[in-house]
Structure 1
């Protein structure tokens, strides 16, 4: 990809899929999150509630961009970023069910000045009840992954889960990857890895992106000074069983891509069977 000299403008891309009442607070709180002019792209994956079109028609700085179908989170985000002009050098990609604390986006951009090799910047993410979500984690490994999957549901404080989730005092630091629910990127860094891998429909696309950002020589930086609240799960709650299957499918893709070749074939077979069994057990129970 040819290098583009981008301006210093700020663009916000959110992927919509019948977001309902969460979208207006997203845009309203964004206005107080930054002092910069901001261009908002609603990359729409096939909403049927009419909310994205109505909001775009009512707001001057909001543009409705239909993606042509349900492309998943990464595919929709890539289309949204592609719709931004060359004046946009900062891209904030976010779920539409995020609410921003005042000054939070400016805090992310300020952190980028402290980290010149930072490519991706993630805020502190709170749940609606005020709890901090562990949004800056280590990259998955076989050992941590197995320990987290086996013991996580029954032993929340097990060492594998604690290590993976990096539930430490929230201080500004680097991470293996940052939650895809809300993050800021230098557009140059986004281009350098060609954005999201669209083979991931949902889940693990942020893990994969964070790993590739790091491999390209950039840093993933956690910035707890910037806070957002993730309302969570509006569009996925309607199809929770499907989302569970997508989560396990993406987990397999991520690990299978990294443990390739004949020698790792038995591991991939066991992994695939184990994930399929877990999906069956959980969906059967539900």
Structure 2
């Protein structure tokens, strides 16, 4: 493990974990640059300590310049490597196990943060001690809103949304809108207790995350965020806060090839086996 900068590990701090596996170098650099800017804005008024963990599941490019930018923002930065491709959830758990901060952010390497995103998020959590997990407003490449808060899915919902061409989804439009919570998720309103939020940006109180023992490592990829979201409700409230803004550049399993479809199906089977099958 490589460690640079002063360790940001007092109880008032923020820790961030980013798991990478053969990332797009330009996108990773952009994500880390926006993270560094958000950290600078967060620390401008309150010098809260921040620790960033880059978890290398394989193929991490040269990040010397990115690490330098993060340390200049006031964060410490550690690279966790040598474990091989252990999966998304288990990779984050390697960092979560080390975190002793007040808050921990699970962050995808394809997310761009608004400069004020971390400051807005921590201000909200400080004012709402009942909130243990926060989801942001997630934008898409075209500037529109991605509806990544979810109600409990049916097998049909997942199949229609993930694998049907857009023109074939029209008969399922109403049920997919309900699944994606389009009736309540918008650009303005705080929404308490969405059942499921996206793993691309999950900001936890670290004590809640530790009590949950992080991600369930039986999921290699996909549905680990669904699982963790549902379990989080047992300990704290989950909240969607649109003032916290990020942009997501990710894509679905069906667009990534057959290997991802197989992983998606295997994880869906584990998920429904644990929480209950709902077909239609």
TM-score (structure 2 length as normaliser) = 0.80
Question: Of residues 161, 168, 187 in structure 1, which corresponds to 2:206?
Answer: 187
* Separation in 1, partners of 2:179, 2:139: 18
What residue number does 2:58 align with?
A: 46
Q: Residues 151 and 158 of structure 1 are in contact (CA less than 8 Å); yes or no, is this contact kept in structure 2? A: no
Unaligned runs of 5+ in 2: 1-8, 44-48
- Greater helix content: 1
Instruction: Give how far 1:7 is off.
Output: 0.4
2:143 partner SS: coil
2:239 partner SS: strand
- Cα gap change, 1:72/1:130 in structure 2, threshold over 3 Å: closer, same or farther? same
Instruction: Give how far 1:32 is off.
Output: 2.6
2:215 partner SS: coil
- Cα gap change, 1:79/1:237 in structure 2, threshold over 3 Å: closer, same or farther? farther
* Separation in 2, partners of 1:233, 1:94: 15
- Cα gap change, 1:230/1:55 in structure 2, threshold over 3 Å: closer, same or farther? same
1:149 and 2:159 correspond: yes
Aligned-pair Cα RMSD in Å: 2.7
Instruction: Give how far 1:83 is off.
Output: 2.9
- Cα gap change, 1:237/1:24 in structure 2, threshold over 3 Å: closer, same or farther? farther
Question: Of residues 220, 242, 246 in structure 1, which corresponds to 2:259?
Answer: 242
* Deviation readout 1:145-192 (Å, 9 max, x if unpaired): 435535883234633211111023342112101100012100011011
Q: How many residues get paired?
A: 250
* Separation in 2, partners of 1:53, 1:17: 17
TM-score (structure 1 length as normaliser) = 0.78
Q: Residues 196 and 226 of structure 2 are in contact (CA less than 8 Å); yes or no, is this contact kept in structure 1? A: yes
- Cα gap change, 1:96/1:232 in structure 2, threshold over 3 Å: closer, same or farther? same
- Cα gap change, 1:184/1:137 in structure 2, threshold over 3 Å: closer, same or farther? same
